Amino acid sequence: MFLTDRRRSGRLRTGIALAALATFASGLSFATTPAAATEPGVEPANVTLTLPPGGTADIVKTVHTPTVPPKPDIVFLADTTGSMGAAIGDVRTNAAGVLSTISSAQPTAQFGVAEYKDFNCDAVPFKVDQAITSDAAAVQAGINLWSAGGGCDLPEADLNALYELSTGAVTFRPDGTRIIVIFGDAPSQDPSNGHSLAQTISALQAANVRVVAVNVGNLDVSGQFTDIVNATGGVLLNNVPSDQVSEAILAGIQAIKVTVTPTPFGCGPPLSLSFNPGSEVVTSGADAHFTETVNVAANAAAGTHHCAVDFLIDGTSRGFVQNLTVVVPGLSINDVSVNENAGNATFTVSLSAPAPFPVSASFATSNGTATAPADYAATSGVVSFAAGQTSKQVTVPIVNDTIDENNETFTVTLSAPTGAALIDPTGVGTIVDQDRNGVFSCSGTALNLAGLKAGKANPADLPCAADSDTVASVKLTSGLVNVDAKVITATTDLSPNNQNIVPVLGDKAASTAKIESTKITVGGLVTIELGVIQSSASVTCTAGPSGLVPTYSGSSSIASLKINGVTVTVGSAPLTIPLVVGSLKLNGTTTTGTSITQQAVVLDTLLTDVVLAESTADVHGTALHPSGNPCVT
């Protein structure tokens, strides 16, 4: 029995009225439907923030949903009873355009084909004409199998068909969006093949199937499909003319509501995220809006931390992922090494990344092997960074002294940071000793007869000092030895006079001794007459393989020599002349690892010795550096 007029007089139910689908005009070419203006996804997809420990920030996120739900598995379910010929014809004619439009929006779309009739008078009240596939030709062939016929009363087997499809009649992909598009002009028997409306809804919900219902007449006359679409998150389109069913099908699929749920993953320990709202339901193609609140733990370490958010569509990942990078600035203070005479030690406090907010930290010095106030001035305060600044300085006054000592250290420690974490809070200050590891000594003696001396410069010898001594003439006697000398001079010199500065090339200690004329008699046996005699000795800092080293030099000269009236030729080379009373040694140089002694004349007798024009220069270590010398620190 065909009740076409009755079926087409159905009342408008809650859903999307066909009048709202004006953009789907008859004859529209589906394949040329323009794509969405905005690509589906999350915006912004990548976010970088700089936040302090304990900081927070809000990010406004927009999720552009696709115009067709993602990865759809769509089953076209047709009422193929006798009154549906025109509607079936419209779908058959325009199926290729519908498939193309959906596949353009979602290239992974798949489709199936099924139909239903009436259990009361049709031999096959339900069948699947094409299993779910991506083969458009196969889908078209399945749709082409539809043929209007049968149906002996108003209710048909709608509920049974929906129940069968949701319980295994077709195979949906596990991660697909499952949609059954049903179009018909009559309500369903209830129960239908033993399946009530409630059971059918439960089966659809269990299978996570959305129902798009296109009412060509009286499909929703009893409110069945209002209940079904409301329960499954589907769409009901009422009062659809038979020649616009294909457009309504496409409009219904595009009007399915999707639930967008932000789901964080892979977040580093100091980061936590919250969202307002926790999820949002929007029509496919519409935007979902969220406020994402980023929280950084108060004990967050400095560095770069990451988190990602997958904006799930209907509980499934569709690749709508936001990558979040949070930079927590860190404070560090460097180590400093300064000479003890530098005046100040300047430390640099660095911020690892520019911050858009102020940053500060307290600092204070503390003793190590260096102590305040003897070696440095205790210092404390607050170092502050304005937004964007990354470097500040902390200055600690250094105390110079004259004590030879080892290098000493103290620390500057950062604490109580605001706006940043601490990376390296301790700076070590090393005070490099600039005092010499030794001292120079020097002396000059013009005449020394058995300990009787004349012309003595810096007689204490240690330390070397600038000095001079001149004697016009002197006569000394010791036993049978008599010495008569005129114009006796000795000098010593130190360079630089201030030995509390760092050694440099050319620092030296030097001494000289000189006698203009000398006559020595030993009893009535020997008479020695000397013209100008002089000597010099020095130790000088010169360049060595690893720094400055002391270098020793000495020389002497004798202008003339007569022994018992006989002239003896003498140069500057060492010479020993035997005498009946002993020996006469000329131009003698004696060196050790730390000293040089230059003697112009030495008369060595059995009774006593006479030394003329003797110059010495030496280096000595300190208590801390017993083997040190004044050329190094």
For residue range 511-537, list pLDDT tens digits in order: 999 999 999 999 889 999 999 999 999
* Domain parsing of the chain, residue ranges: 4-21+70-255, 51-66+258-326, 330-428, 438-621
Which 8-state DSSP code applies to residue 243?
G
User: Is-contact 425 619, C-beta < 8 A?
Assistant: no
DSSP of 3-50: -HHHHTTPPP-SS--GGGGTTS-TT--GGGPPPPSS-SEEESSEEEEE
pLDDT of 155 higher than 70 = yes
Mean pLDDT of 6-28: 33
Question: What are the start-end ranges of the H helices in 174-223?
Answer: 197-206
Higher pLDDT, 352 or 10: 352
Distance CA 464, CA 459 (A): 10
pLDDT of 28 higher than 90 = no
What pLDDT does residue 585 have?
Answer: 97
Distance CA 57, CA 279 (A): 19
pLDDT of 13 higher than 70 = no
Other C-beta atoms closer than 10 Å to the C-beta of 179 total 26
Whether this model's pTM surpasses 0.85: no
pLDDT of 20 higher than 80 = no
Mean pLDDT of 458-474: 97
User: Is-contact 322 45, C-beta < 8 A?
Assistant: yes
Distance CA 219, CA 214 (A): 8
pLDDT of 23 higher than 90 = no
Mean pLDDT of 568-596: 95
pLDDT of 498 higher than 50 = yes
Distance CA 541, CA 631 (A): 6
User: Is-contact 619 629, C-beta < 8 A?
Assistant: yes
Mean pLDDT of 61-65: 96
The hierarchical CATH code for the domain 4-21+70-255 is 3.40.50.410
pLDDT of 318 higher than 70 = yes
Percentage of residues of the chain with pLDDT beyond 70: 94
Q: What architecture (CATH level 2) is domain 330-428? A: Sandwich (2.60)
**Could you tell me the end-to-end alpha-carbon distance of the chain, in angstroms, rounded to an integer?**
119
pLDDT of 9 higher than 70 = no
Mean pLDDT of 243-272: 96
DSSP of 47-99: EEEE--TT-EEEEEEEEE--SS-SSEEEEEEEE-SGGGHHHHHHHHHHHHHHH
Tell me whether the CATH fold assigned to 4-21+70-255 matches the one assigned to 330-428: no
Distance CA 65, CA 335 (A): 55
Domain 51-66+258-326 CATH assignment equals 2.60.40.2310: yes
